A and B are shown apart, each in its own frame.
Chain A
Amino acid sequence: MTSFTIKSVIYLLLVQLFTMQIKYFLKRLSLFLAFALCVYVLLLCVFSVNVFRNKIPNLLNIYVPTVTEAFHQLHSENNTDILFIGSSHAEFVPEVFKKDSINAINLSISMLRPMITYHLVKDEINKTSAKVVVLESYFTLFNEDYEVQEAALNILSNEEPDANLAKIAIITKDFRVINSSIGLLVYHMLHPLSIDKTKKTNLVIPDTNTSEPITFSKPNYCTVTHKAFVYFQQSIDLIKNAKKMPMLIMAPVPLQLIKSCLNYSTVCKSIDSIAKKNGLIFINYNDSVNYAHLGLDQRRSFVDDNHLSEAAKVKFSQVVVQDLKKLNVIQPHTTQ
């Protein structure tokens, strides 16, 4: 009875909607959109071939692919111990891990937020031999509302086009990403495997310039969305389903930045509760004890208001190695 009523209401609404004028409009609109789509695809083909062949950056809202070494390693190496996934704050130095005979890959991608992380994990988790996957959990990135295009473009540039990548492009709702992904598709069709796989990303942050003081934004609430935590949980589930051990780490930032995020402790509690719920290890290096252990200098250890200097990154990675060993999370390769 209920379904009959709903169907009748929908039918009546549709009858109301499809008056002659609307019908005519929808017909014309469909024809126009088909026409415009042809123009769009045609222009995109012409532009993208030129843009990618000549590697002209950011021309006509089409971005040249940036291929990272980490992706290349991830796809080619089969003895990875630990994989780090996170934003530019995932400042783990694989070379430091290597000294302790631990094979680490750091897949840090600028502005990576949980929504894109989920799609990245979905695409990569079965391609890696890593037994431990660390999700870096930076407290200001638990939202989905803006600036996701940079991370999306980075991922799109490093993968063969597939349905998951198409999803990434669409969820960004950004024409720069959509144009670039269609452009990449066209490029891949015309020039298979011709991208320089050894090119590094521009994620390397220069050393600190101590002559210029670091400025911090005014205290405000960090935007946090429920959806972001849902995606975060889904990423954890994917890692678990792949029979790998997920783990959460929050990298250190300047104390002033923590103070400027008025809901910092609430965000940390949310991450902690996810960790507890899933039985995961969560190390917050911004906790007073851990922070003190790192011995960071507020003036010299940071290059800007939220990134570690090169020297501090090494120091931080050394501490992470020791902590992971203490926690028995990873065992060095004895054969190496």
Chain B
Amino acid sequence: MLFNSFQFLYFFIVVTTLYFVLAHKYRAWLLLAASCYFYMVFVPIYILILGFTIVIDYFAGILIENAQGHKRKLYLLASIIANVGVLCVFKYYNFFIGNINGALHHLNPGSSFAFPFLAILLPIGLSFHTFQAMSYTIEVYRANQKAERNFGIYALYVMFYPQLVAGPIERPQNMLWQFKTEHHFDYSKTVSGLRLIVWGIFKKMVIADRLAIYVNDVYNHVHNYAGVSLIIATIFFSIQIFCDFSGYSDIAIGCARIMGFTLMKNFDIPYYSKNISEFWRRWHISLSTWFRDYLYFPLGGNRVSDARVYMNLMIVFMVSGLWHGANWTFVIWGALHGFYLVIWKLTQGIRKTTSTAIGLDKAPVLSGLLSGGLTFIATAFAWIFFRANTFKDAMYVVTHMLHSNGKVGIGSMTKLNFYLAIFSIAIMEMVHYQQAKGNHLTLLAKQPTLVRWGIYSFFIMVIIFLGNFGDEKFIYFQF
């Protein structure tokens, strides 16, 4: 069930109405049943995998809390192995086997032996709910969170439908208590939630899905293109993935907000970042903080030697790449970001000296534009590896971006679609500009009702008349 479908609209209206109608003690069960249904609409049988990790982590949490000494670590380890094991089987098995078979063939070209592949589909949102479940046992182990004794509440923590398939990856400290608190209907929360939903749908259906026409055309036939076309496709993909994923997050946060729940912010206009470190504080915040808290800090964080810090950064970002997908292109994407951060840290002193020497520090606007532009170029370059179907394709894009002897054009995208895409991006950037100044909501609230309604209607009409109704899936569903 996609967020941008009528099916979800009916589902959401029914569930939310029932939620406010029912007495508090039944609400968690309603949400749990709704979440099960929501998940089972995709591939019903995969609810068993989700059930397996839920049961394991529920008991692991209680056992960790009750145990003393090294046993606590043992139970945590068992829980992590179970969760990572599920990920390995369903997400990484074929990737590893493919690589092992490739290596065996390389060592012994004559041999026909190969390990068999598994004919399985990747359960939707597996990486998201596995990480959310893992954060629970880790937090119980660290004694930051009490083990949840109510199985239904714990199951709901993993399965809460707005954020079940593509995050934000929540923490138990932020969610568990909210399921126990009675939420009353709140007018302002509902309006703000609806506003977020419309904004998310606008980003997904009007911008991301329109840009996808061009991006898919170019990236699925890279050899037909060169030069400007590849550059435009890469820039478009950078915007597409932001609109697609942040659009999903906005809808998820909006839906939860209407029911009274507060989910964590997942995006904070990331392309306004002035350096790569800031980018990762603004992009997919729930995942980057997950890796920071549960991998980077345990590896030593910043409290180790410089060389170790750099190594830790590379490890964290390569694992983050692998988290996204079982393909070397994702690992390279992660490694590139790790490399950017290492370079950024290494050159901090030089950059400051140079900036002072040429007087850039006295021109903050120019300096901001320059550093923001460079950060965007660096992230867009990394997206090439994220989007390309194969490493070979990615290398073709990298090596032919500055050539002009290829087919240049807007591919299967009509001129009208191209202009509409630019128009929609311009609207989004106008909103982002106000958002960056921190006053977009205040500005909206100051307007008379008719103007506000006019603005809301404008976005709804843009969705109806310019939206792509082709059932495009969200990119992050595959992770």
Roughly how many angstroms separate A146 CA and B471 CA in the complex, as a whole number? 8
- Residues on A with C-beta less than 8 A from B7 are 173
**Of residues 15 to 43 in B, which have CB atoms within 8 Å of A's CB atoms?**
17, 20-21
B187-A21 in contact (CB<8A): yes
Give bound CA distance, A120 to B20, whole Å: 42
Give per-residue flags for B185-214: 1 if the beta carbon is below 8 A from chain A beta carbons, else 0: 111001100000000000000000000000
What B residues does A25 contact at CB under 8 A? 185, 187, 190-191
Q: Is the CB of B20 within 8 A of A17?
A: yes
By the criterion CB–CB under 8 Å, are A36 and B21 in contact? no
Chain B residues whose CB sits within 8 angstroms of the CB of A47 once the complex forms: 465
The tally of residues in A whose CB lies under 8 Å from a CB in B reads: 26
Across the interface, do B466 and A19 meet the contact criterion of CB distance under 8 Å?
A: no
- The answer to whether residues A176 and B469 also contact, given A17-B17, A17-B21 and a CB cut-off of 8 A, is yes
Q: Determine whether B123 belongs to the interface, using a CB cutoff of 8 Å to chain A.
A: no
Chain B at the A interface: SS class:
helix
Q: Does B457 belong to the interface (CB within 8 Å)?
A: yes
Kindly state whether residue B416 has any CB partner on chain A within 8 Å: yes
Cβ-based interface call for B370 (8 A): no
Query: Would you give the 0/1 interface string for B218-236, flagging 1 where the beta carbon is closer than 8 Å to chain A?
Result: 0000000000000000000
In the complex the two chains form, is A173's CB within 8 Å of B453's CB? no
Q: Which residue of chain A lies nearest to B186 when distances are taken between CB atoms in the complex?
A: A21
Contact of A43 among B17, B416, B453, B465 (CB under 8 A): B465
Q: Which A residues touch B187, using CB under 8 A?
A: 21, 24-25
Known pairs A21-B185, A22-B20, A22-B185; A36 contacts B456 (CB<8 A): yes
A216 within 8 A of B: no
- Find residues 10-28 in chain A having any chain B CB closer than 8 Å to their own CB: 13, 16-17, 19, 21-22, 24-25
A175 touches B461 (CB 8 A): no
Grouping DSSP codes into helix (H, G, I), strand (E, B) and loop, the A interface class, with mixed when no group exceeds half, is helix
Q: Report A35-75 CB contacts with B as 1/0, cut-off 8 Å.
A: 11001100100010000000000011110000000000000
Q: With both chains docked as a complex, state the minimum distance between the C-beta of B364 and any C-beta of chain A, in angstroms.
A: 42
Q: Given that A35-B453, A36-B457 are known contacts, is A175 also in contact with B416, CB under 8 Å in the complex?
A: no
Q: Is the CB of B97 closer than 8 A to any CB of chain A? A: no
The distance in angstroms between the C-alpha atoms of A173 and B20, with both chains bound, is 27
Q: When the two chains form the complex, which single residue of A13, A16, A35, A60 contacts B466, counting CB atoms closer than 8 Å?
A: A60
Q: Which of A16, A22, A149, A173 contacts B6 (CB 8 A)?
A: A173
**Is A174 at the interface (CB under 8 A from chain B)?**
yes
Complex Cα spacing A183 to B6, Å:
21
Q: Which residue of B lies closest to A57 (CB)?
A: B414
Residues of B within 8 A of A35 (CB): 453, 457
Q: How far apart are A170's CB and chain B's nearest CB, in angstroms?
A: 10
Which residues of A, 70-86, contact B by the 8 Å Cβ criterion? none
A179 at interface (Cβ–Cβ under 8 A)?
A: yes
Q: How far is the CB of B10 from chain A (nearest CB, A)?
A: 10
Provide the bound-state CA to CA distance between A186 and B59, in Å.
Answer: 63
| Alpha-carbon gap, A175 to B7, bound state (A) | 14
B167 within 8 A of A: no
Q: Are A174 and B469 in contact (CB under 8 A)?
A: yes
Q: Which residues of chain B come closer than 8 Å to A62, judged between CB atoms?
A: 465
A173 to B6, CA, bound (A): 7
Q: Which residues of A contact B321 (CB under 8 A)?
A: none
Interface residues of B in 440-478 (CB under 8 A from A): 453, 456-457, 460-461, 464-467, 469, 471
Alpha-carbon separation in the docked complex, A319 to B461 (Å):
52
Question: Which residues does chain B contribute within 8 Å of A173, judged by CB atoms?
Answer: 5-7
Contacts of B456 in A (CB 8 A): 32, 36
Asked if A179 and B464 sit within 8 Å, CB to CB, the answer is yes
Q: What is the bound-complex CA distance between A115 and B394, given in angstroms? A: 43
Chain A residues, Cβ within 8 Å of B17: 17
Residues in chain A near residue B465, CB distance under 8 A = 43, 47, 60-62, 179
Is the Cβ of B469 less than 8 Å from the Cβ of A32?
A: no
Q: B467 contacts A61, CB within 8 Å? A: yes
Question: A36 touching B185 by the CB < 8 A rule?
Answer: no
Specify which of B5, B21, B184, B471 is in contact with A13 (CB 8 Å cutoff).
Answer: B21
Pair B21/A40 contact, Cβ less than 8 Å: no
Contact pick for B416, options A19, A22, A24, A59, CB 8 Å? A59
Instruction: Pick the most buried of B17, B465, B466: most chain A CB atoms within 10 A of its CB.
Output: B465
On whether the beta carbons of B461 and A40 are closer than 8 Å, the reply is yes
Name the residue on A nearest B452 (C-beta). Answer: A32
Which of A21, A24, A32, A39 touches B461 (beta carbons < 8 Å)? A39
Closest chain-A Cβ to B88's Cβ sits at a distance in Å of 24
Q: How far is the CA of A19 from the CA of B186 in the complex (A)?
A: 11
Chain A nearest Cβ from B194, distance in angstroms: 9
Q: Looking at the complex, which one of A32, A61, A146 makes contact with B464 (CB distance below 8 Å)? A: A61
* B462 to chain A: closest residue by CB: A60
Contact with B along A215-248 (1 / 0, CB 8 A): 0000000000000000000000000000000000
Q: From residue A262, how far is it (CB to closest CB) to chain B in Å?
A: 11
CB distance from A152 to the nearest CB of B (A): 12
Contacts of A13 in B (CB 8 A): 21
Tell me the residues in window 273-313 of chain B with beta carbons closer than 8 Å to chain A beta carbons. none
Minimal beta-carbon separation of B276 from chain A (angstroms)? 39
Chain A residues with CB under 8 Å of B5's CB are 173
Question: Which residues of chain A from 139 to 167 have any CB-CB distance to chain B below 8 Å in the complex?
Answer: 146, 149
**A-chain residues with CB within 8 Å of residue B185 when the two chains form the complex:** 19, 21-22, 25
User: Across the two chains, which residue of chain A brings its CB closest to B10?
Assistant: A173
| Of the residues A16, A59, A61, contact of B21 by C-beta under 8 Å | A16
Which residues from chain B contact A176 at a C-beta distance below 8 Å? 469
> Could you tell me the distance in whole angstroms from the C-beta of A236 to the nearest C-beta in chain B?
28
Closest 8 CB pairs of A and B: A173-B6, A60-B465, A36-B457, A39-B457, A13-B21, A21-B185, A21-B187, A22-B185
B residues neighboring A (CB under 8 Å): 5-7, 17, 20-21, 184-187, 190-191, 416, 453, 456-457, 460-461, 464-467, 469, 471
25 A-B interface contacts by CB (under 8 A): A13-B21, A16-B21, A17-B21, A19-B184, A21-B184, A22-B20, A22-B185, A24-B187, A25-B187, A25-B190, A25-B191, A35-B453, A36-B460, A39-B457, A40-B461, A47-B465, A59-B416, A60-B466, A61-B466, A61-B469, A173-B5, A173-B6, A175-B469, A176-B469, A179-B464
